[in-house]
Amino acid sequence: GTKDRCAATVQLVSCIGLRPETLLRAPLDLRWDPSIRFSDLEVSQDVLALGDLSGNRFEVVLRGLPAGFCHGPGLTEVERSLVALKERGFVNYFGTQRFGTQKIHAFQVGCALLTKNFDKVIALILGQEGGDASPSPSASTNYSENDNVFAAQALFAATGDASRALEMMPRAPSVFLERTLLGALAEGLTASEALER
């Protein structure tokens, strides 16, 4: 996902029918992303199944902070934010809302991200099945409590007018991602820049 693309992560994966020596040759391909590395390869008769992992652990590193955040009032603000995080937690962006309100499979969004097809990522998140210019016909049933979401997505799909689509999009926590993307596009950001926001 987006956070993994911007993060240094370690992930356990299993591949069926792939020999370690084949995987070791993969980085020689000119299309290989040099930021992706692998280690500790082994052949196993067991497959990695859902639920096998003991959970996620995160170490958050804040980058690019202004110098004032490291001492004085800036540090006080950081400390206050950490106390709030400890006491109240944070918004959980996992689950069906991760990639919008549509019936778009996460692997489709992930595939588009990996191939750096950022326009398609946005199209998928905004409910355009297959990432083309036609909104998903099932969109209104996926979000029946507010047809304005579908109308905003359909407008964007038909016209590409992010500003008008943003005006139509409800101000609801369930469409935070859609509103953020539309807002960034309305400001003139590219698809890549909008996704980084």
Positions marked active-site: 4
| Amino acid identity, position 185 | L
Residue showing tokens 């909104």: 135
Per the document, the length of the chain is 197
Q: Which residues contact 139 (CB under 8 A, 6 or more apart)?
A: 101, 102, 127, 149, 150, 153, 154
